[in-house]
Amino acid sequence: MAPPVLSNEEIRRYSRHLIMPEVGMAGQRRLKQGSVLLIGTGGLGSPLALYLAAAGVGHIGLVDFDVVDESNLQRQIVHGTSTVGLAKTESARRRLHDLNPLVEVTTYETPITSANALDLMRPYDIIIDGTDNFPTRYLTNDAAVMLGKPNVYGSIFRFEGQVTVFSPKDGGPCYRCLYPEPPPPGLVPSCAEGGVLGVLPGVIGTLQATEAIKLLTGIGEPLIGRLLLYDALEMRFRELKLRRNVNCPVCGDHPTVTELIDYEQFCGIVPEVQTLSSQYEITPVELAALLETPERPFLLDVRNSYEVEIASIEGTDLLIPVDQLPEQINKLDSSVEIVVYCRSGARSGQAVEMLKAAGFRKVKNLVGGVLRWSDEVDPTMAKY
Amino acid sequence: MAITITIPTALRQYAGNNATVALEADTVGALLHGLVEQYPTLGKHIFDGGKLRSFVNVYVGDEDIRYLQGEATPLKDGETVSIIPAIAGGM
Ligand SMILES: [Zn+2]
């Protein structure tokens, strides 16, 4: 099908593209014909959506089920103070419509799952992975490979980012060729736990947008078979070679994974009730009441020292960052009741498991951590 | 034979907060074991029961050791070895 022609309005808007011979009228018409599905409208999805809309990509799909929160605005620049509390898909749609009303935006306010991934992706030329967890990254990869669509990949952590284009149909590798198996839960911290420099997803998302635009217009050398690494602190870019693994279970010569699987299970994620019974849990309200009694428990903080400066529960007895717990376990007395806490309850959950494995039985995880403590007990406590 | 190892952000806290570590070794395996000896808490993040974890990739220069000779890959003086773990952040 011949790419659609441009209206005079479009010619005015895209003139800075049109006067470059590498893009020109032909390239701009291909952008107008093109479609991109963005999985995630967060840190990476924000600059992606903005630049793809501004560039005139004809159809942009946005998949997200989250709601805009104040703490997103440090980096998620497609959203704004006026859309806090709104669905991210709707917030982004409004901003994109203001930026460029000539592009079509379709929103899907749903998590991407094995049940809907193929249907969501099928209408689009390019898939862009801007999610924040391993199950969704493997799901996005596998579905894109099965549909033969390029997956423009980016991921970030603190000051560091990775970018590449996975496109086995062009002879390149897929995500599973790079990382055959996900890390076990808890070993690799997420951005919510580990933090992220706000401008970092801006750099990485913009690189992803650049690759998507190159793929749609057919210009330049795509980032296929190359992993671009960015270190913001060192201000250094590096490039590593990526190869398609002929034994890859998804894109290899004899694939063994030919339909979408249960990715939560693949990533070792089991429902919380199975990992931690309520005997080893305590709610903020229960803890607050207990701290008023003479039998107050020993309160152990397993966060990092710089987090203590932000917010801390009064009466905390000891700080041992979760990574140092194995070496410092002898500082704890297994005969007294211990309540362990962190920011959200995830790291303290791991700490409780470690203590249980070491024989401790009178140990409880403060569910929801400092965040829920602030919600339910002490609203003056800062959430971060 | 001095080899420079680049440590990713996610693992720097287990390697004395260093971005790079210089060590003497003649194979990738000897290098990584030397690194873990120097920084024991790094061990469980790179190895699982003596084997390199599957979400931790190791490169000599720009080449993945899986396409060289794995941990037996020989090293030349002045080479750079990079540890590149999977990261998933994006929101
Ligand atoms: Zn593959």
What is the DSSP code string of A226-281?
EEEEEETTTTEEEEEE----TT-TTTSSS-S--S---HHHHTT---HHHHS-GGGE
A:242-281 residues touching chain B, CB 8 A cutoff: 242-243
A342 in active site: yes
CATH code, domain carrying B11? 3.10.20.30
Kindly compute the dihedral angle of the four CA atoms of residues A87, A91, A96, A102, in this order, to the nearest 10 degrees.
70
User: B62 and A239 in contact by Cβ < 8 A?
Assistant: yes
Handedness of CA A35, A38, A42, A43 (dihedral sign): negative
Determine contact: A307 vs chain B, CB below 8 A: no
pLDDT at A66 over 80: yes
Q: Give the CA angle between residues A20, A33, A88 to the nearest 5°.
A: 100
Q: Which of A174, A177, A267, A342 is catalytic?
A: A342
Residues A131 and A173 grouped into a single domain: yes
Residues A247 and A326 grouped into a single domain: no
Residues A334 and A135: their CA atoms lie apart, in Å, by: 36
**Number of domain units in chain A:** 2
pLDDT at A277 over 60: no
How confident is residue A270, by pLDDT bands cut at 50, 70 and 90? Answer: low
pLDDT at B1 over 90: no
**Number of domain units in chain B:** 1
What distance in angstroms lies between residue A255's CA and the mean position of ligand 1's atoms?
A: 9
B:28-57 residues touching chain A, CB 8 A cutoff: 41, 44-45, 53-55, 57
3-state secondary structure of A203: helix
Residues A216 and A286 grouped into a single domain: no
This prediction's pTM: 0.80
Residues A304 and A344 grouped into a single domain: yes
Estimate the crossing angle of helix A45-55 against helix A88-99, to 10 degrees: 30
Estimate the crossing angle of helix A24-33 against helix A200-217, to 10 degrees: 110
pLDDT at A301: 96
Which secondary-structure segment (H or E) carries B21?
Answer: strand B20-24
What distance in angstroms lies between residue A251's CA and the mean position of ligand 1's atoms?
A: 4
Quote the mean pLDDT of chain A: 92
pLDDT at A190: 62
Which residue is associated with the tokens 């979400």? Answer: B55
Domain boundary among A266, A298, A324: A266
pLDDT at A265 over 70: yes
Domain annotation covers residue B36:
yes
User: B55 and A42 in contact by Cβ < 8 A?
Assistant: no
Which secondary-structure segment (H or E) carries A364?
Answer: strand A363-366
pLDDT at B49 over 90: no
Q: What is the 3-state secondary structure (H, E, C) of A5-73?
A: CCCHHHHHHCHHHHCCCCCHHHHHHHHHHCEEEEECCCCCHHHHHHHHHHHCCCEEEEECCCECCHHHC
Residues A161 and A66: their CA atoms lie apart, in Å, by: 23
pLDDT at B18: 92
Which secondary-structure segment (H or E) carries A136?
Answer: helix A134-147
Among B44, B53, B88, beta carbon nearest to A134: B88
Let me know: does A303 contact A371? Beta carbons within 8 Å.
no
Domain annotation covers residue B91:
no
pLDDT tens digit sequence for A157-187: 889 999 999 999 999 999 999 999 888 776 6
pLDDT at A311 over 70: yes
Other C-beta atoms within 10 Å of A165: how many?
25
pLDDT tens digit sequence for A285-298: 889 988 888 888 99
C-alpha distances (whole Å) from B15 to each of A265, A324, B7, B20, B39 are 31, 13, 8, 9, 6
Residues A234 and A299 grouped into a single domain: no
pLDDT at A189: 64
pLDDT at A18 over 70: yes
pLDDT tens digit sequence for B8-47: 988 898 999 999 999 999 999 999 999 999 999 899 889 9
Residues A62 and A42 grouped into a single domain: yes
Domain annotation covers residue B90:
no
Closest Cα in chain A, distance from residue B47 (Å): 12
A13-22, A331-340, B51-60: range with highest mean pLDDT: A13-22
Domain boundary among A212, A244, A266: A266
Domain annotation covers residue A359:
yes
pLDDT at A191: 61
Domain annotation covers residue B79:
yes
Handedness of CA B84, B86, B90, B91 (dihedral sign): negative
Residues A262 and A289 grouped into a single domain: no
pLDDT at B65: 96
A251 in active site: no
pLDDT at A253: 94
Residues B70 and B63: their CA atoms lie apart, in Å, by: 11
**Residue A241, exposed/middle/buried by CB under 10 A (0-12, 13-18, 19+)?**
middle
Closest Cα in chain B, distance from residue A240 (Å): 4
A130-134, A139-143, A256-260, B40-44: range with highest mean pLDDT: A139-143
Q: Which distant-in-sequence residues (6+ apart) come within 8 Å of A363 by Cβ?
A: A280, A337, A338, A339, A340, A352, A355, A356
Let me know: does A364 contact A355? Beta carbons within 8 Å.
no
Q: Which distant-in-sequence residues (6+ apart) come within 8 Å of B21 by Cβ?
A: B4, B5, B7, B15, B35, B38, B39
Residues B45 and A202: their CA atoms lie apart, in Å, by: 28
Residues A42 and A173 grouped into a single domain: yes
Which residue is associated with the tokens 């190892």? Answer: B5
Q: Which residue of B has its CA nearest to A88?
A: B91
Q: Which of A101-105, A227-231, A264-268 has the lowest mean pLDDT?
A: A264-268
Determine contact: A183 vs chain B, CB below 8 A: yes
Residue A353 has which token pair? Answer: 């498991």
pLDDT at A237: 97
Residues A180 and A242 grouped into a single domain: yes
State the average pLDDT over residues A203-230.
97
Residues A296 and A262 grouped into a single domain: no
Determine contact: A65 vs chain B, CB below 8 A: no
Look up residue A180 and give its amino acid. P
State the average pLDDT over residues A325-332.
90
pLDDT at A274 over 50: no
Residues A259 and A351 grouped into a single domain: no
Determine contact: B91 vs chain A, CB below 8 A: yes
User: B62 and A129 in contact by Cβ < 8 A?
Assistant: no
Q: Which residue of A has its CA nearest to B64?
A: A241
Expressed as residue numbers, the domain containing B15 is 2-85
Q: Which of A177, A191, A251, A267 is catalytic?
A: A191
CATH code, domain carrying A162? 3.40.50.720
Residue B31 DSSP code: H
Residues A38 and A60: their CA atoms lie apart, in Å, by: 7
Domain annotation covers residue B65:
yes
Determine contact: A229 vs chain B, CB below 8 A: yes
Q: Which residue of A has its CA nearest to B60?
A: A240
Residues A209 and A261 grouped into a single domain: yes
CATH code, domain carrying A314? 3.40.250.10
Let me know: does A237 contact A230? Beta carbons within 8 Å.
yes
What distance in angstroms lies between residue A248's CA and the mean position of ligand 1's atoms?
A: 5
* Interstrand relation of A126-129 and A104-108 (parallel, antiparallel or unpaired): unpaired
Domain annotation covers residue A372:
yes
Expressed as residue numbers, the domain containing A290 is 278-376
